[in-house]
Structure 1
Amino acid sequence: MSESVTQTALIEDCLAIMLVSDQICEAFKEVAQDHANFAQFGSVTDISAGFPVQLLEKYRDNWDSHKKPEEEIGFRSAPLVPKTKPESILAFVLGWLCHRAAEHHLKPETAESGMYRDAFLFHRLYVNNSKTPEPYRTEAYDKRAKGLPASASISSGDVQELFQVIQQRLLIEMHTFVPDVEDIEGWLDRLHAKYQERAAYMDNYAEAVMNPDPAKVQQLVTDMNFYDDEDAIIQLAQAIRQGRKPSQETIEAAFAAEPGSSYAKALKEGFGNLRNASVFFSGGIESNKLNKLLAV
């Protein structure tokens, strides 16, 4: 379920809780603070892969010595911030630890269910918000929505056009394709078909964002208990997004509370993975124990 709004939001929330927790080593916090975008690439790796733990083991001794010299490593979507290869790798591993939780609890049953949940979180966490999740304009997604007049002038067609431009720019940027030189025409045909498939999905996603079917929102989001504001760990994540710094007692209570919604379960597992990995990185446990805790 990589490359989804749900995946992106979960990694953001897990890292945000990690940054304010006293149970996390400084190396993790430093990397998450400076290279959070690079952590999103952790979602492209198979959750059964064991090498991320091996990478943690490689760098946990004398971490500071691994950070010299600095070099620019990154992509447009994860800007070229000066960082060493070990910093990039550690950020990647942090994202992978969160990605495991997403795969366990948030993998959609169908493409449509994933699309509607992405649209829900897009409204809930990102639209017209620099920090805090607030109600937007679509009552189908939030019963407390009060409506924003300016949004009435934006149609799903406008959003579809925006998505098309973004996709075209990303394709131009991705200059590292390795074509099949034995069948270059077939390779181009397959690339075009994949692009068309993605474009069609994004058109449907734009419709789900701007004009959601209330019945499908009820069926695919609400009835499935995807996201619940009453979950303690979701309330914690929301408070951090609003710029508040919770006490350690609040963090521990939220982590200990039993989650109800799928997103809360993933958030608890993801943060738990980060805590366990931090103990390992600090020398508190060995790799076999961490693998057992992660069920790798």
Structure 2
Amino acid sequence: MSTLTIEKATMNDAKILTEIMKKTFDREAKKWLSEEEAYADYNIQPPGYASIEMNKYMIKELNYYKVIIDEIIVGGIIVTVSGRSFGRIDRIFIDPIYQGKGFGSRAISLVEKEFYDVRKWEFETSSRQINNHYFYKKKGYEKTFETKDEYYYTKQIKIPVEEENIVENKELSRIQYDNCDMSKAEYYQVNLKGSSFSNSNLMNSYISNCNLSHSKFQNINFRNSLIADLNLANSEILLASLGGVHFKDTDLGKENNPILFERCDLKGSKLSHCNLKDVEIQNSEITGMKIDNILVEELLEAYYQVIKG
């Protein structure tokens, strides 16, 4: 039997892992999607799956393991662990030429052993990928939710009763918590709709795979935070201090709705390797602004001289 191991991926692995991921998910798309559906199912072709920059981000910020068979990288498995107890398999991919030999199953088993404190694992897959449904059932996962396009699976890991410290399936709505120490608490599949957090210390909190639509964040200290892999379509950011903020590998979403900047101070900012097609700048201070190291003021002056002829 071939020797299979998993190791934490490094930036040096980003190129080969991107190539394998693209090859794997493109094959899945060809198998399960019609031409009209291409790029419409994010479980079959996840956002940024063909981007080396997305892979670098996941290597840096997530638990990204390369799957190795006899010293050859043949795939990857990416997991998110919230606190100690809850794990999510974000992506798993094995080079198509190595599929059907149990390597994916063995990789998942190794990840479960790596995070031995996790008591509940979860995974989402496309409703189209029938082979995935059988695969995860065989690994002990149970379907807990489904929509027309997506199946949601979970796996409960049994732990000794004496080690449990859990409040489960309780009705706790409309309770007020005042001056309570809830540090290092873990929340999983809880309904916090309509909840209010005020004058509280949420420093070093970790929020992942949560629905925060229609929420309000006001008077919040987000200093030195990481905000990544978000859907901010149709949102508003008002009265924000953006000093030192770095926007990278960002697009305008599927609808390609343009961004609108109004009354913003962007002095000293830099746009590099960006698509600025059809961008408009009106009634703005452009002193010292350059395009390809040429002063825009000089370009406009030359333009108006030509117009006046």
Q: Which has the higher contact order (CA 8 A, sep 6+)?
A: 1
Q: TM-score, normalised by structure 1?
A: 0.26
TM-score by length of 2: 0.26
Q: Name which one, 1 or 2, has greater alpha-carbon Rg.
A: 2
Choose between structure 1 and 2: higher strand proportion. Answer: 2
The structure richer in helix per residue is 1
